[in-house]
């Protein structure tokens, strides 16, 4: 137990100020001398032992009636290990522009508000900690611990399984764990918002697996400049949040992973840059089975890596010409509407002249063939009242599917496409019927056929005869009553009969397909 006589001058000043919650400011007022990065040069007149702070926070100098005890310290060099692991801390901790020799340990601790702003800290361990208030690390530099007893990799800020009743402020904070985990916060429960704006920079992976963020995660303008060892910049797998805001210049030089994340409101990447890992082959965004209401993917420029949205479900999709890379996984991706920006306003993407072509090209970016993206797009067009566009999408689906079939099936597919457009263009059958009727009528009217039974039957009618050849069901009495001594015209009659059967079969197959679910 420390005695008052053993304390240095700045420590006595802090000891005396603690019961009344007064701030002890050891700064000189000269900006060059007060930068926390230079704290290693500060002398005894600005040094406070971590053991003294621990003693105060654990009740060594109790508060006075009518005052709120609090440890407030600015501009100090903190020597030794600030070890509060497992402690029940009843007082708030406010540190500003301080330099720590060793890490801060809150492992399993129960603490009040913790504020460490503008400081230089070699790691913060808060595994399973419970903070009844706010965790404020604004403008601080937090560097990696040698290793975490729970993560087994270098970690700068450990909040795994921690609970914070307020919010976490990381505006202007720099967190560095190159090749490791800059933030390890799997299972974190943050009841307030997590705000990472104003120059927030990370080197290493940010892990928020299974985190509960009802107050949202706001990373406007954040810079994730160096990914973790697996090329992942941000991992939010199975996280639950109200809002995820990666907008206004947010940049990730690694994969952003949202596998199974559930966002009850908005997920936005408006104006973001997703560079993907440096290898150029790994994905920029991995979000299979993700759920969100509004998904704004209007990036500043196209991602360098692929985008995986398989099985994701959103109510509203916002995109632009810069949204999609060369490879987009869309199988199972569902959406209620698609909106694009026109003239500074967001509007439904239907009705534009190139709408269907652009959307089909978007689907074609997905490797392989899957019917679901086409069916989803067609369903959206139908709901918007654009049935013709929906049919164009479904026709594109059949043409894409045709490429995956054996050659015989591909030939039949080409025939269905040319004759009735797979049932989505039935008017093509009428065009073929009219063309063949004109061909037969003109050819047969220029010559006289021979009757099968002279003196019997109706007079020869070229138009009726041609239709009798083309329509395989029933009969008009012309085909059986006349024949052609001219071999060329007889062969034409045979060809018209064959075309009639093919055309009828194609119409039946196409109409049947059109009447099915797809």
Full DSSP string of 103-157: -EE-TT-EES-EEEES-EES-EE-TT-EESS-EE-TT-EEE--S--TTT-S-EEE
Of residues 245 and 488, the one with the higher pLDDT is 245
Residues shown for the chain: 518
Question: pLDDT at residue 516 above 90?
Answer: no
Among 92-96, 141-145, 297-301, name the one with the lowest average pLDDT.
141-145
User: pLDDT, tens digit, for every residue of 3-27?
Assistant: 888 999 999 999 999 999 999 999 9
Coil, strand, or helix at residue 347? strand
Statement: residue 515 has pLDDT above 60: no
pLDDT of 510 over the 60 cut: no
Q: What are phi and psi of 194, to 5 degrees?
A: -110, 115
Q: Are 134 and 155 in contact (CB under 8 A)?
A: no
Give pLDDT, residue 1.
Answer: 63
Q: Report the 3 state secondary structure along 255-278.
A: EEECCCCEECCEEECCCCEECCCC
**pLDDT tens track for 110-123:** 999 999 999 999 99
Cross-strand pairs, 95: 73, 116
Write down the pTM of the prediction: 0.82
Q: What pLDDT is recorded for position 517?
A: 45
Flag whether pLDDT at 423 surpasses 80: no
Task: Say yes or no to pLDDT of 186 above 50.
Answer: yes
CA pair distance 158, 99, nearest whole angstrom: 19
Highest mean pLDDT among 43-47, 386-390, 434-438: 43-47
In the chain, the percentage of residues whose pLDDT exceeds 70 is 86
pLDDT (0 to 100) of residue 109: 97
Q: Which two tokens stand for residue 199?
A: 């120059």
CA distances from 269 to 198, 205, 213, 246 (A): 17, 19, 18, 5
Other C-beta atoms within 10 Å of 317: how many? 23
Q: Worst-scoring range by mean pLDDT, 7-16, 44-53, 279-288, 297-306?
A: 279-288
pLDDT digits over 294-342, tens only?
A: 999 999 999 999 999 999 999 999 998 889 999 999 999 999 999 887 6
Q: What would the mean pLDDT of 461-474 be, rounded to a whole number?
A: 73
| Residues 168-174, mean pLDDT to the nearest whole number | 97
What are the DSSP calls for 275-311, one per residue? ---TTSSS-SEE-TT-EEEEEE---SS--SS-EE-TT
* Sequence-distant (≥ 6) Cβ neighbours of residue 306 within 8 angstroms: 283, 284, 325, 326, 327, 328, 329
| Percent of the chain's residues with pLDDT above 90 | 59
């Amino acid at each position: 137990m420390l005695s008052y006589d053993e304390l240095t001058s700045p420590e006595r000043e802090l000891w005396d100020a603690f019961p009344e919650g007064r701030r002890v400011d050891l700064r000189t007022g000269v900006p060059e001398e007060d930068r926390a990065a230079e704290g290693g040069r500060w002398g005894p007149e600005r040094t406070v032992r971590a053991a003294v702070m621990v003693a105060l926070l654990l009740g060594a100098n109790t508060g006075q009636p009518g005052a709120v005890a609090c440890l407030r310290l600015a501009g100090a060099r903190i020597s030794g290990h600030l070890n509060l692991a497992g402690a029940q801390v009843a007082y708030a901790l406010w540190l500003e522009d301080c330099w720590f020799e060793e890490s801060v340990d809150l492992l399993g601790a129960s603490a009040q508000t913790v504020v460490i702003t503008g400081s230089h800290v070699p790691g913060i361990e808060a595994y399973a900690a419970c903070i009844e208030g706010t965790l404020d690390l604004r403008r601080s530099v937090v560097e990696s611990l040698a290793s975490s007893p729970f993560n087994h990799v270098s970690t700068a800020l450990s909040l795994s399984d921690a609970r914070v009743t307020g919010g976490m402020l990381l505006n202007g904070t720099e967190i560095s764990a190159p090749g490791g985990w800059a933030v390890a916060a799997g299972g974190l429960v943050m009841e307030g918002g997590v705000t990472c704006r104003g120059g927030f920079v990370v080197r290493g992976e940010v892990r928020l697996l299974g985190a509960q963020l009802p107050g949202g995660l706001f990373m406007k303008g954040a810079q994730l400049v160096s990914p973790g060892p697996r090329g992942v910049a941000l991992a939010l797998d199975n996280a639950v949040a109200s809002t995820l805001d990666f907008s206004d210049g947010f940049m990730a030089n690694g994969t952003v992973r949202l596998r199974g994340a559930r966002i009850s409101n908005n997920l936005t990447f408006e104006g973001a840059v997703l560079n993907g890992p440096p290898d150029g082959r790994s994905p920029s965004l991995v979000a299979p089975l993700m759920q969100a209401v509004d998904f704004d993917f209007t990036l500043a420029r196209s991602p360098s890596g692929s985008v995986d949205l398989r099985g994701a479900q959103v109510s509203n999709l916002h995109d632009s010409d810069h949204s999609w890379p060369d490879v987009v996984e869309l199988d199972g991706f569902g959406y209620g509407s698609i909106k694009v920006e026109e003239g500074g306003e967001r509007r439904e993407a239907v009705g534009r002249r190139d709408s269907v072509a652009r959307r089909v090209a978007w689907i074609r970016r997905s490797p392989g063939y899957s019917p679901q993206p086409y069916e989803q797009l067609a369903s959206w067009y139908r709901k918007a009242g654009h049935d013709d566009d929906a049919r164009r999408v479904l026709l594109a689906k059949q043409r894409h599917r045709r490429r995956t079939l054996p050659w015989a099936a591909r030939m039949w597919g080409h025939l269905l496409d040319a004759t009735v457009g797979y049932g989505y263009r039935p008017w093509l059958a009428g065009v073929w019927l009219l063309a063949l009727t004109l061909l037969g009528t003109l050819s047969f009217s220029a010559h006289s056929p021979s009757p099968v039974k002279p003196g019997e039957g109706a007079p020869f009618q070229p138009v009726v005869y041609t239709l009798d050849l083309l329509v395989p069901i029933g009969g008009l009495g012309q085909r059986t009553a006349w024949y052609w001594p001219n071999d060329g015209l007889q062969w034409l009659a045979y060809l018209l009969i064959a075309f009639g059967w093919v055309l009828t079969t194609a119409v039946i197959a196409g109409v049947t397909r059109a009447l099915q679910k797809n």
